[in-house]
Amino acid sequence: MSHAPRRGRAQRDHDAAPQGRTGPKGADRRHERSARTPAETANALSELFEPAVAAQGFDLEEIDVRPAGRRRLVRVVIDVDGGIGLDDIATVSQELARLLDDGDVMGSAPYVLEVTSPGVDRPLTEPRHWRRATGRLVRTALTAGGEIEGRVTSVDDGGVLFAIAAGRRGNGQTTTRRLGFEELGRGRVQVEFRRLDEASDQPAAADED
Protein backbone atom coordinates (compact mmCIF):
# COMPACT_ATOMS: atom_id res chain seq x y z
CA MET A 1 0.00 0.00 0.00
CA SER A 2 1.33 3.43 -0.90
CA HIS A 3 0.38 6.78 0.53
CA ALA A 4 0.32 10.16 -1.18
CA PRO A 5 0.14 12.74 1.66
CA ARG A 6 -0.77 15.70 -0.53
CA ARG A 7 -3.82 13.96 -1.95
CA GLY A 8 -4.76 12.00 1.15
CA ARG A 9 -5.24 8.62 -0.45
CA ALA A 10 -4.12 5.02 -0.17
CA GLN A 11 -3.88 2.39 -2.89
CA ARG A 12 -3.80 -1.38 -2.93
CA ASP A 13 -3.07 -3.56 -5.96
CA HIS A 14 -4.90 -6.86 -6.31
CA ASP A 15 -3.48 -9.04 -9.06
CA ALA A 16 -5.88 -11.94 -8.68
CA ALA A 17 -9.32 -12.78 -7.43
CA PRO A 18 -9.75 -13.97 -3.82
CA GLN A 19 -8.69 -17.56 -3.31
CA GLY A 20 -10.81 -20.38 -1.92
CA ARG A 21 -13.47 -20.59 -4.66
CA THR A 22 -12.72 -23.41 -7.05
CA GLY A 23 -14.68 -25.64 -9.37
CA PRO A 24 -17.25 -24.83 -12.08
CA LYS A 25 -19.75 -23.11 -9.79
CA GLY A 26 -17.11 -20.83 -8.30
CA ALA A 27 -15.79 -20.03 -11.78
CA ASP A 28 -19.30 -19.20 -12.97
CA ARG A 29 -19.81 -16.81 -10.06
CA ARG A 30 -16.51 -15.06 -10.77
CA HIS A 31 -17.46 -14.75 -14.44
CA GLU A 32 -20.79 -13.18 -13.47
CA ARG A 33 -18.99 -10.64 -11.27
CA SER A 34 -16.54 -9.80 -14.05
CA ALA A 35 -19.42 -9.29 -16.50
CA ARG A 36 -20.98 -6.54 -14.39
CA THR A 37 -20.93 -3.00 -15.72
CA PRO A 38 -18.88 -0.45 -13.72
CA ALA A 39 -22.11 1.10 -12.40
CA GLU A 40 -23.42 -2.29 -11.24
CA THR A 41 -20.09 -3.05 -9.57
CA ALA A 42 -20.11 0.33 -7.83
CA ASN A 43 -23.63 -0.33 -6.49
CA ALA A 44 -22.59 -3.75 -5.17
CA LEU A 45 -19.49 -2.25 -3.55
CA SER A 46 -21.56 0.49 -1.93
CA GLU A 47 -23.75 -2.14 -0.23
CA LEU A 48 -20.61 -3.96 0.91
CA PHE A 49 -18.59 -0.95 2.06
CA GLU A 50 -21.14 1.44 3.58
CA PRO A 51 -21.74 -0.43 6.87
CA ALA A 52 -18.00 -0.86 7.44
CA VAL A 53 -17.23 2.79 6.69
CA ALA A 54 -20.09 3.98 8.92
CA ALA A 55 -18.95 1.70 11.74
CA GLN A 56 -15.64 3.58 11.80
CA GLY A 57 -17.42 6.94 12.00
CA PHE A 58 -17.06 8.10 8.39
CA ASP A 59 -19.40 8.88 5.51
CA LEU A 60 -19.13 6.94 2.26
CA GLU A 61 -19.41 9.73 -0.30
CA GLU A 62 -18.70 8.06 -3.62
CA ILE A 63 -17.53 4.86 -5.31
CA ASP A 64 -16.23 5.01 -8.85
CA VAL A 65 -15.18 1.95 -10.87
CA ARG A 66 -13.44 2.39 -14.21
CA PRO A 67 -10.97 0.56 -16.48
CA ALA A 68 -7.28 1.30 -15.89
CA GLY A 69 -5.29 -0.65 -18.50
CA ARG A 70 -5.69 -4.34 -17.77
CA ARG A 71 -7.03 -3.59 -14.32
CA ARG A 72 -9.96 -1.74 -12.84
CA LEU A 73 -9.59 1.26 -10.58
CA VAL A 74 -11.93 1.22 -7.58
CA ARG A 75 -11.94 4.73 -6.13
CA VAL A 76 -13.65 5.17 -2.76
CA VAL A 77 -14.25 8.66 -1.35
CA ILE A 78 -14.87 9.07 2.39
CA ASP A 79 -15.37 12.14 4.56
CA VAL A 80 -16.13 13.26 8.11
CA ASP A 81 -16.66 16.51 10.01
CA GLY A 82 -13.23 18.02 10.62
CA GLY A 83 -11.67 16.36 7.59
CA ILE A 84 -9.92 13.09 6.81
CA GLY A 85 -6.35 12.35 7.90
CA LEU A 86 -3.81 9.92 6.50
CA ASP A 87 -4.29 7.54 9.43
CA ASP A 88 -8.03 7.50 8.69
CA ILE A 89 -7.35 6.72 5.03
CA ALA A 90 -5.01 3.86 5.95
CA THR A 91 -7.43 2.33 8.47
CA VAL A 92 -10.40 2.40 6.10
CA SER A 93 -8.29 1.12 3.21
CA GLN A 94 -7.21 -1.93 5.20
CA GLU A 95 -10.79 -2.74 6.19
CA LEU A 96 -12.16 -2.38 2.67
CA ALA A 97 -9.33 -4.48 1.26
CA ARG A 98 -10.20 -7.20 3.77
CA LEU A 99 -13.85 -7.13 2.69
CA LEU A 100 -12.82 -7.48 -0.95
CA ASP A 101 -10.41 -10.31 -0.18
CA ASP A 102 -13.12 -12.18 1.72
CA GLY A 103 -15.78 -11.68 -0.97
CA ASP A 104 -16.13 -12.06 -4.71
CA VAL A 105 -17.71 -8.77 -5.78
CA MET A 106 -14.78 -7.94 -8.06
CA GLY A 107 -14.72 -11.32 -9.82
CA SER A 108 -11.47 -12.62 -11.29
CA ALA A 109 -10.10 -9.45 -12.92
CA PRO A 110 -7.25 -7.61 -11.12
CA TYR A 111 -7.99 -4.20 -9.67
CA VAL A 112 -6.54 -1.29 -7.72
CA LEU A 113 -8.32 -0.04 -4.59
CA GLU A 114 -7.87 3.66 -3.89
CA VAL A 115 -9.32 5.31 -0.78
CA THR A 116 -9.27 9.09 -0.75
CA SER A 117 -10.89 12.22 0.67
CA PRO A 118 -13.08 14.61 -1.35
CA GLY A 119 -11.43 17.26 -3.48
CA VAL A 120 -12.43 20.91 -3.53
CA ASP A 121 -14.38 20.24 -6.75
CA ARG A 122 -16.78 17.84 -4.99
CA PRO A 123 -20.34 19.12 -5.58
CA LEU A 124 -22.34 20.08 -2.48
CA THR A 125 -25.50 17.98 -2.65
CA GLU A 126 -26.18 16.86 0.93
CA PRO A 127 -26.74 18.87 4.13
CA ARG A 128 -23.48 17.49 5.53
CA HIS A 129 -21.60 18.80 2.48
CA TRP A 130 -22.92 22.30 3.09
CA ARG A 131 -22.09 22.07 6.81
CA ARG A 132 -18.50 21.14 5.98
CA ALA A 133 -18.29 24.11 3.60
CA THR A 134 -19.01 26.66 6.36
CA GLY A 135 -16.77 29.67 5.85
CA ARG A 136 -16.16 28.91 2.18
CA LEU A 137 -17.25 30.88 -0.87
CA VAL A 138 -19.78 28.80 -2.82
CA ARG A 139 -21.58 29.20 -6.13
CA THR A 140 -24.79 27.24 -6.46
CA ALA A 141 -27.68 26.83 -8.86
CA LEU A 142 -31.18 27.44 -7.51
CA THR A 143 -34.04 25.04 -8.13
CA ALA A 144 -36.26 28.00 -9.09
CA GLY A 145 -33.72 29.10 -11.70
CA GLY A 146 -30.60 31.21 -11.73
CA GLU A 147 -27.69 30.96 -9.32
CA ILE A 148 -26.06 32.79 -6.43
CA GLU A 149 -22.56 33.11 -5.07
CA GLY A 150 -21.97 33.76 -1.40
CA ARG A 151 -20.05 32.71 1.66
CA VAL A 152 -21.62 29.98 3.78
CA THR A 153 -21.88 31.49 7.24
CA SER A 154 -24.01 28.87 8.99
CA VAL A 155 -25.95 25.68 8.30
CA ASP A 156 -28.83 24.19 10.26
CA ASP A 157 -31.26 21.33 9.77
CA GLY A 158 -33.36 23.35 7.34
CA GLY A 159 -30.92 25.18 5.13
CA VAL A 160 -27.97 27.50 4.59
CA LEU A 161 -27.29 31.15 5.48
CA PHE A 162 -25.20 32.99 2.89
CA ALA A 163 -23.30 36.27 3.09
CA ILE A 164 -23.54 37.75 -0.40
CA ALA A 165 -21.36 40.59 -1.63
CA ALA A 166 -23.34 43.81 -2.15
CA GLY A 167 -22.16 46.00 -5.01
CA ARG A 168 -18.61 45.54 -6.24
CA ARG A 169 -16.87 42.47 -4.90
CA GLY A 170 -14.14 43.36 -2.49
CA ASN A 171 -15.75 46.43 -0.91
CA GLY A 172 -16.55 44.43 2.21
CA GLN A 173 -20.30 45.06 2.16
CA THR A 174 -22.57 42.02 2.27
CA THR A 175 -26.21 41.06 2.57
CA THR A 176 -27.50 37.84 4.05
CA ARG A 177 -29.84 35.36 2.47
CA ARG A 178 -31.16 32.10 3.84
CA LEU A 179 -32.14 29.25 1.51
CA GLY A 180 -33.66 25.90 2.35
CA PHE A 181 -31.97 22.76 1.09
CA GLU A 182 -34.90 22.19 -1.26
CA GLU A 183 -34.13 25.53 -2.92
CA LEU A 184 -30.48 24.68 -3.59
CA GLY A 185 -29.01 22.87 -6.56
CA ARG A 186 -25.48 21.50 -6.74
CA GLY A 187 -23.10 23.87 -5.00
CA ARG A 188 -19.43 24.33 -5.87
CA VAL A 189 -16.75 25.68 -3.54
CA GLN A 190 -14.85 28.50 -5.25
CA VAL A 191 -11.08 28.76 -5.17
CA GLU A 192 -10.15 32.13 -3.66
CA PHE A 193 -6.69 33.20 -4.82
CA ARG A 194 -7.04 36.61 -3.16
CA ARG A 195 -7.62 35.07 0.26
CA LEU A 196 -4.67 32.72 -0.24
CA ASP A 197 -2.44 35.67 -1.17
CA GLU A 198 -3.62 37.65 1.84
CA ALA A 199 -2.93 34.72 4.15
CA SER A 200 0.61 34.36 2.76
CA ASP A 201 1.25 38.09 3.27
CA GLN A 202 0.41 37.97 6.99
CA PRO A 203 3.56 38.60 9.09
CA ALA A 204 4.70 35.76 11.29
CA ALA A 205 4.02 36.12 14.99
CA ALA A 206 7.05 37.33 16.94
CA ASP A 207 8.55 34.96 19.46
CA GLU A 208 8.00 35.95 23.05
CA ASP A 209 11.00 36.24 25.27
Show me where the domains of the chain are located: 2-116, 127-201
Confidence (pLDDT) at 192: 86
Question: Residue 24, SS3?
Answer: helix
Give the residue-averaged pLDDT of 47-59: 97
> In CATH, what number does 127-201 get?
2.30.30.100
CA distance 6 to 128: 24
Which range is least confidently modeled, 8-12, 50-54, 96-100, 205-209?
Answer: 205-209
Q: What are phi and psi of 29, to 5 degrees?
A: -65, -40
The pLDDT value recorded for residue 13 is 66
Q: How confident is the model at residue 197 (pLDDT cuts 50, 70, 90)?
A: very low
**CA separation for the pair 147, 53 (Å, rounded):** 34
- What's the fold here for domain 2-116? GMP Synthetase; Chain A, domain 3 (3.30.300)
Q: Is it true that 2-116 and 127-201 share their CATH fold?
A: no
- Whether the per-residue pLDDT at 33 is higher than 90: the answer is no
- Asked if pLDDT for residue 57 goes beyond 60, the answer is yes
d(CA 137, CA 34): 43
Per-residue pLDDT at 34:
54
Per-residue pLDDT, averaged over 134-151, amounts to 96
pLDDT over threshold 50, residue 6: no
* Residue 25 pLDDT class (50, 70, 90 cuts): very low
Angle, CA of 74, 87 and 132, to the nearest 5°: 80
Per residue in 92-140, pLDDT (tens digit) is: 999 999 999 998 899 888 999 999 999 888 999 999 999 999 999 999 9
pLDDT at residue 108 in the model: 82
The Cα–Cα gap between 40 and 77 comes to 17
* Mean pLDDT, residues 175-188: 97
110, with CB counted inside 10 A (0-12, 13-18, 19+), is middle
